[in-house]
Structure 1
Amino acid sequence: MPSSTMQIFAFILALLGVLGATMATLLPNWKVSVSMGSNIMTAISQMQGLWMDCTWYSTGIFSCTLKYSVLALPAYLQTARTTMVLSCLLATLGLWLAALGLKCTHWGGSQSSKVQTAIAAGTCFVLAGFLCLVPASWFTNEHTT
């Protein structure tokens, strides 16, 4: 098994990955478009996310509208919502398993069970990464073609 220092470093990276996936799921920065009018006073920045659409006006006004109706959303957006939430949940499970599999923790059983727990945590992280990559790619494809 790797050293405790390497395991703790990997655990911190996994924690940052879970936080990043959660932020990507919640924030409305999936699509950003800026339109400039004839002068700077008419600039509008629009941001679209999985859960809400936001508009920022150059005058400082910021307004967001939630996407309430699930059935009115296109299929790629419904799928992106679902897979991003599943990715966050699976990564959180992987984080708990990784904490149990660390050499420096006293819970989690024997050394051989810690190895199996660490492998399960790694599998959760790989699957969570895949579940995070698919909606991001599909969303990008829908908005660039």
Structure 2
Amino acid sequence: MACHSRTTAQLGGFVLSLFGWVSSCVTTFIPLWKSLNLELSVFENWNVGLWHACIFQEEGKMQCKAYDSILALPLDIQVSRIIMVTSNGLGLLAFSLSIWGLNCLKTRAQNQGLKRPFGIVGGALFCISGIASLVPVSWVAHTIVEEFWDETVPPIVSKWEFGEALFLGWFAGFCLILGGLLLIYKCCTAASVNAVILTSSRKNISSCLLGKDKQQQF
């Protein structure tokens, strides 16, 4: 029963990390990092992401365009591109390793010893991926807050606000970290429990053998 609960918790950590990784990938590519409402003659909503910008008009029309130059982008967007792509790559590597560390996945007997290191390394990579995804999201959010409260800009000027991608990115980062920590904890716990079971089994076998020897002596 305890073994089943550990396997379920380990699988839950893996699914949570996988969900966080998928959410992080979506965050990377959707153009909803910054939002700007222009209520002039025609209502327009500008949304920008790491790769392109989109304009949503009142009639329901949407126009998107990729950035013409990388060097012309703000520093936070340039660095966020690199960090988010790296985070997604680490998440993919973590998925490839941790899936082999799941207890519910049946493998050959000689490969059972690899489950624990695969699970621990995969969980650690999920945590690193989560931390890496939180950095650019928080950086862009900090930049938006600074520009929003900049007193040198007239109040009549429209200012950038948080886009939906920032909230999704925070959610993805915390899911990756929590799922990775749960994977590491359950892999370490399973290893310690197996060691205790193995030690007790050896003691039982030794006591049985000693009992037989004493009976033979009598």
Q: TM-score, normalised by structure 1?
A: 0.89
Partner residue in 2 for 1:21: 24
Q: Deviations over 1:7-55 (max 9, x none)?
A: 22212111111110000000011011222236xxx21111010001100
Partner of 2:87: 87
CA distance in 1, matches of 2:138, 2:10: 30
1:74 aligned partner, one-letter code: P
Unaligned runs of 5+ in 2: 147-218
Q: 1:1-145 residue pairs with structure 2 within 5 A?
A: 3-37=6-40, 42-107=42-107, 110-145=111-146
Aligned counterparts of 2:25 and 2:131: Cα–Cα separation in 1: 15
AA in 2 matched with 1:9 = G
Higher mean displacement: 70-79 or 90-99: 70-79
Query: Secondary structure of the equivalent of 2:70?
Result: coil
Q: Deviations over 1:86-132 (max 9, x none)?
A: 00110111111110100111348544321111110111011101110
Higher helix share: 2
**Runs of 5+ unmatched residues, structure 1:** none
Structure 2 letter corresponding to 1:69: S
* Range moving further from structure 2, 76-85 or 7-16: 7-16
Letter in 2 for 1:67: Y
What is the CA distance between 1:138 and its match in structure 2? 1.1
Amino acid at match of 1:18: W
Bigger RCO of structures 1 and 2 (CA < 8 A, at least 6 apart) = 2
> Which residue of structure 1 aligns with residue 168 of structure 2?
none
Over the aligned positions, Cα root-mean-square deviation in angstroms equals: 1.8
**Count of aligned residue pairs for this structure pair:** 142
Give the 3-state SS of the residue equivalent to 1:3 in structure 2. Answer: helix
- Aligned counterparts of 2:7 and 2:89: Cα–Cα separation in 1: 26
Query: Take 2:23 and 2:113, find their aligned partners in 1: how far apart are those partners?
Result: 31
TM-score scaled by length of structure 2 = 0.61
Larger radius of gyration: 2
